[in-house]
Amino acid sequence: MVKHCIFLLLIFFTSSLLAQKKAPKNWQLLNPLTDKVYGIGLENAYLSLKDKKANTVIVAVIDSGTDIEHEDLKDIIWKNEGEIADNNIDDDKNGYIDDVNGWSFLGGKNSDINYESSELARIFHKLNKKFENADTSKLIDAELKEFIYYKKIKISFFNEQKTLELQLNNIQFFSSFLDKVKKQNNGLLSKEALKNFVPENGLDKKIKKRMKFLFLLGLKPEKLEEELKNGKENFENSLKYNQMNADSIREYIVGDDLSNLNNPYYGCNRVKGPDALHGTHVSGIIAAIRNNNIGINGIAANVKIMPIRAVPNGDERDKDIACAIKYAVDNGAKIINMSFGKYYSPDKKLVDDALNYALSKDVLLIHAAGNDSKNSDKELSFPNRELISDRIVPNWIEVGASSFSGGKNLIGSFSNFGKTKVDLFAPGVDIYSTIPDNKYVNESGTSMASPTVAGVAAVIRGYFPELKADEVKAVLMKTVVRYKKKVIIPGSGNRKVKMKELCVSGGIVNVNNAVLELMGLNKKLN
């Protein structure tokens, strides 16, 4: 699921974030030892690698879409050399016509999916159709078990809808407040207008206080209005699409037969799609062109980004994710970034088969842990490395989000965590990167932490190509910066534990440490 308004919601409803200072620009690249910021130590790593030559590494970005014409990305976008553009012929005979720069599993001949329902909603509507008017008094065995599951799903679905309605109402409160501020200031919104605003009631006073914090953190009034507008649109559409027959919409737009789970040949070559903000931001973190005096420096200088569109605003479908992984593997990707997730997976076996396929081809899979402040040891999200067969794929890295702050706020307050399920943390709060139309913004989420690790892994795979996927994971796990002080557990209020209680490695990814380890130069990593 793609969530653009995470920063806004966290600021409004999470008090711990209100105390944080403004992030240094491009802080994720800095070195904890010399810069006193918990970045990845990138420039130090490149100094150590200055006499080595890197191989090119293809990194697939399975996401919402990518602006392949962005000024800071266009020269590092993967090109399918076996395909001739726009001739409507499958020149390389891989089953995908004109896939010159990747593929979209969310588009048809003339249009593209933007919004989708949640997976929970899809499961509910399918079971509701079967059981709503059925005589359930005589059910036995498998059907009785399914009916009991349906009752649980029904409760969860309506709870989800209530939560979405509450979140929408909260956004509408803030939007109404800004309208009042503008009304008292001749239609203009500014810090000065907020300062001079005369509250009309107690709620106005509370919101005004929160707004002051937002502006102290550097959020511009026009950006706040944009965030509110996007948030309102996202929640309205989530509520709307959760009530609809999403399968029929999907089949109409894409032309894919959802009952045929074994057919991977559907979609289109429009990799940007209708909303490419998320995928473009992720791609920039990994590999925005370095040292070109434009925009930002990405992490890996030796990368080609392969855009694969499979993640809508809503929950991604298992079939699309399985097909996207297989497409990436078949077309040469050695790393796949997956900044998405959900809590139900009705066709998990399809995804499991794709994960096994990636393992067989030595492809490293990197996945965002999620933004719900949940303990992943207690509630799994999907996709994940735990297969139905009880095997665990070793070429998988699960990533939580860390912040630029030291001390108790080191872990992003939204980040999922897990002593056995999340492998490590990486910078994911206020990450400045590319968005469509040659623009750049800060975004927060494990969606930003995952590509940080993907970029680090690309540096390692480029300069040390002899390493297998699981060996790259092993060195990244071994060389994290371990934080020994206590940090706040996300979602706990102010309860603190050692970082080793929140992830397997107990630390934050550090490419400089990894490079020193591989070059035999490390004397003491932490």
pLDDT beyond 90 at 19? no
Calculate mean pLDDT across residues 188-196.
84
Chain-centroid distance, C-alpha 407: 25
- Is residue 223 classed as helix, strand or coil in its secondary structure? helix
pLDDT band at 145 (very low <50, low <70, confident <90, very high): very high
DSSP-derived secondary structure letter, 365: E
What are the residue ranges of helices labelled H in 49-140? Answer: 119-131
pLDDT digit string, tens, across residues 465-491: 999 999 999 999 999 999 989 999 999
pLDDT beyond 50 at 149? yes
Helix (H) or strand (E) holding 218: none
Do the beta carbons of residue 4 and residue 278 sit within 8 Å?
yes
Using DSSP bridges, classify how beta strands 364-368 and 57-63 pair: parallel, antiparallel or unpaired: unpaired
Calculate mean pLDDT across residues 115-121.
96
Residue 433: per-residue pLDDT? 97
Tokens standing for residue 305? 């980004």
pLDDT band at 7 (very low <50, low <70, confident <90, very high): very low
Residue 227: per-residue pLDDT? 82
pLDDT digit string, tens, across residues 231-270: 899 999 999 999 998 898 899 999 999 989 999 999 999 9
Tokens standing for residue 310? 């499979």
Distance CA 430, CA 141 (A): 51
Calculate mean pLDDT across residues 425-453.
96
| Cis peptide, bond prior to residue 274, ω within 30 of zero | no
Q: Which residue has the higher pLDDT, 218 or 509?
A: 509
Q: Which runs of E-coded beta strand occur in 50-203?
A: 57-63, 103-104
Residue 217: per-residue pLDDT? 59
Rounded to 5 degrees, what angle do the CA atoms 302, 303, 307 make? 175
Do the beta carbons of residue 436 and residue 276 sit within 8 Å?
yes
Distance CA 366, CA 300 (A): 15
pLDDT band at 219 (very low <50, low <70, confident <90, very high): low
pLDDT beyond 50 at 4? no
The active-site residue, picked from 112, 256, 275, 320, is 256
Q: Is 447 a catalytic residue?
A: yes
What secondary structure does DSSP assign to 123-151, as a single string?
Answer: HHHHHHHHHTTS--TT--HHHHHHHHHHH
- Domains of the chain, residue spans: 6-116+266-518, 119-240
What are the residue ranges of helices labelled H in 367-468? Answer: 446-463
Residue 15: per-residue pLDDT? 39
Do the beta carbons of residue 312 and residue 115 sit within 8 Å?
yes
pLDDT beyond 90 at 463? yes
pLDDT digit string, tens, across residues 497-521: 999 999 999 999 999 999 999 999 7
pLDDT digit string, tens, across residues 393-434: 999 999 999 999 878 999 999 999 999 999 999 999 999 999
pLDDT beyond 60 at 143? yes
Residue 6: per-residue pLDDT? 47
Q: Which residue has the higher pLDDT, 108 or 224?
A: 108
Residue 78: per-residue pLDDT? 98
pLDDT beyond 90 at 303? yes
Residue 345's contacts (CB-CB under 8 Å, 6 or more residues apart) are 119, 318, 351, 382, 383
pLDDT beyond 90 at 284? yes
The active-site residue, picked from 403, 447, 450, 505, is 447
What does CATH list as the number for 6-116+266-518? 3.40.50.200
Q: Is 256 a catalytic residue?
A: yes
Q: Which residue has the higher pLDDT, 168 or 211?
A: 168
The active-site residue, picked from 4, 125, 278, 281, is 278
Residue 2: per-residue pLDDT? 53
pLDDT beyond 90 at 189? no
Residue indicated by tokens 């001749």: 186
Query: What does pLDDT average to over the chain?
Result: 92
Do the beta carbons of residue 339 and residue 278 sit within 8 Å?
yes
pLDDT digit string, tens, across residues 323-380: 999 999 999 999 999 999 999 999 999 999 999 999 999 999 999 999 999 999 999 9
What are the residue ranges of helices labelled H in 304-403? Answer: 318-330, 348-360
pLDDT band at 67 (very low <50, low <70, confident <90, very high): very high
pLDDT beyond 60 at 524? no
Residue 13: per-residue pLDDT? 43
Query: What does pTM read for this prediction?
Result: 0.93
What secondary structure does DSSP assign to 27-56, as a single string?
Answer: GGGS-HHHHSS-S--HHHHHHHTTTS-PPP
Calculate mean pLDDT across residues 317-323.
98
Residue 522: per-residue pLDDT? 65
What secondary structure does DSSP assign to 443-506, as a single string?
Answer: E-SHHHHHHHHHHHHHHHHHH-TTS-HHHHHHHHHHT-EE--SEEEPTTSSS-EEEGGGTSSS-
Q: Output the CA–CA distances (angstroms, integers) from residue 235 to 5, 216, 306, 317, in the order listed.
A: 10, 27, 30, 19
Chain-centroid distance, C-alpha 70: 20
Residue 9: per-residue pLDDT? 46
pLDDT beyond 80 at 216? no
Residue 43: per-residue pLDDT? 95
Q: Sign of torsion, CA 189 191 196 199?
A: positive
Q: Cβ-count burial of 129 within 10 angstroms (0-12 exposed, 13-18 middle, 19+ buried)?
A: exposed
pLDDT beyond 70 at 21? no
pLDDT above 90: percentage of residues in the chain: 78
pLDDT band at 210 (very low <50, low <70, confident <90, very high): confident
Residue indicated by tokens 């108790």: 408
pLDDT digit string, tens, across residues 84-109: 999 999 999 999 999 999 999 999 99
